[in-house]
Amino acid sequence: MFRAPNDIIRCRSPVEPGSSSTQWGAHLFAVATRCLCGNIKSTPTGGFAVHTIDPGPHSNKLLASLPNEDFQLLIPHLSFEQLASGTVLAEPGVEVDHVYFPLSGAVSLLVVMRDGKTIETGTVGREGVVGAVSGIASCEWQVRAISKLPMFARKIASTEFRKAVSSSRAIADLCLRCNEGLLTQARIGAACNAVHQIEARFCRWLLETRDRAESDTIMLTHEFLAQMLGVRRTTVTETSIKIEAAGAIICSRGVIKIIDLEAVKAMACQCYETFREQTSLLGAPAAQPRAGR
């Protein structure tokens, strides 16, 4: 069922009997992000699946930028994927057997340490592609890929993607450009993690995710954010309390709402702008959330 962004009041009823407050947060998030909200189901990963309408392959900026003859090499092999937040798409050491083109939301690329700790080293949204390196040669994942927002994507088998790359200079260039972009993200992220304080990194991550979600209301748990930032959950909680005390955000169970955008920007490190510029270089300016949301 279609629900417009300002239809949030109509959504203020339990989606399903026994819906938890966390599911409630996901419901608000789904509406706030202009998803065409229907039902919400919790998933084994603890994330959420939202029933909505396929936004179409051209929602991915890279697919949209391809000349039609190159696009036609891919489209017969692109399947539709609806991903709940927290869905693991790939694990390190596993062969890259599929390539994902996000149509909304974002995929986080995490380095996984031997003790299980993780830290985000890159994010891919509608401007990019996940697993493009497999278009050049068969390879293994070096990172864990996980959807950090409820999202849609188009997926293609790596074997089919390689055939398209071998036949299309435009698609091959796309692979190289995206891999260079991810490398740059990793470089900036390494410097940020080494130099900038957790409050500034927290705000940077929040702003980046806001751009991807196209909403000031973001559904995420402190546990999930700790995995992204490479810190303990208690550190995330302490940091969010400080930022909330400054009047910049409101935190409730599983939901962070930005109430003073300029304050969050003032607290974020310069890397937010650097990442935005990097995203623009890939051909897709960071999304601008609509006013009043």
Q: Which of 273, 91, 291, 64 is nearest to 188 (CA)?
A: 273
CB closer to Zn ion out of 177 and 265: 265
The amino acid occupying position 236 is V
* 42-51 burial: b if 16+ Cβ within 10 Å, else e: beeeebbbbe
CA 230, distance to chain mean position in Å, is 17
User: With respect to Zn ion, which residue has the nearer C-beta, 264 or 271?
Assistant: 271
For Zn ion, the closer of residues 26 and 192 by Cβ is 192
Question: Which ranges in 66-213 belong to alpha helices (H)?
Answer: 68-74, 158-167, 169-195, 198-213
Site string for Zn ion, 271-290 (x = CB under 5 A): x-------------------
200 vs 256, beta carbon nearer Zn ion: 200
In the window 211-270, what residues touch Zn ion (CB under 5 A)?
269
CB 269 → Zn ion: shortest distance, Å? Answer: 3
Q: What is the arrangement of strands in the sheet containing 79-83, beginning at the earlier edge strand? A: 79-83, 151-157, 98-102
Are β-strands 217-219 and 144-147 bridged in parallel, bridged antiparallel, or unpaired?
Answer: unpaired
Q: Which helix (H) or strand (E) holds 110?
A: strand 107-112
State in angstroms the smallest separation of the CB of 188 from Zn ion: 8
Q: Least distance (Å) from Zn ion to the CB of residue 208? A: 11
Cα angle for residues 236, 241, 246 (degrees, 5° grid): 130
Report phi then psi at 108, rounded to 5: -95, 140
Q: Between 103 and 229, whose beta carbon lies closer to Zn ion?
A: 229
- The least distance separating Zn ion from the CB of residue 166, rounded to whole angstroms, comes to 39
Sign of the Cα torsion 4, 10, 16, 18 reads: positive
* 240: CB partners within 8 A, 6+ apart: 202, 222, 249, 251, 256
Which of residues 194 and 291 has its CB atom nearest to Zn ion in the complex? 194
> In the range 185-214, which residues lie near Zn ion by CB under 5 A?
192, 196
User: Can you give the length of the chain in residues?
Assistant: 293
Q: How far is the CB of 225 from Zn ion (least distance, A)?
A: 16
Alpha carbon distance 72, 105 (integer Å): 24
Q: Which stretch binds Zn ion (CB under 5 A): 1-9, 56-64, 184-192, 280-288?
A: 184-192
Sign of the C-alpha dihedral, residues 196, 197, 199, 202?
positive
Shortest reach from residue 142's CB to Zn ion, in Å: 22
Nearer to Zn ion, 188 or 255 (CB): 188
Give the count of residues interacting with Zn ion (CB under 5 A).
4
Least CB distance from residue 230 to Zn ion, whole Å?
Answer: 13
By beta-carbon proximity to Zn ion, the closer residue of 219 and 269 is: 269
Q: How far is the CB of 206 from Zn ion (least distance, A)?
A: 13
Give the footprint of Zn ion on this chain (CB under 5 A).
192, 196, 269, 271
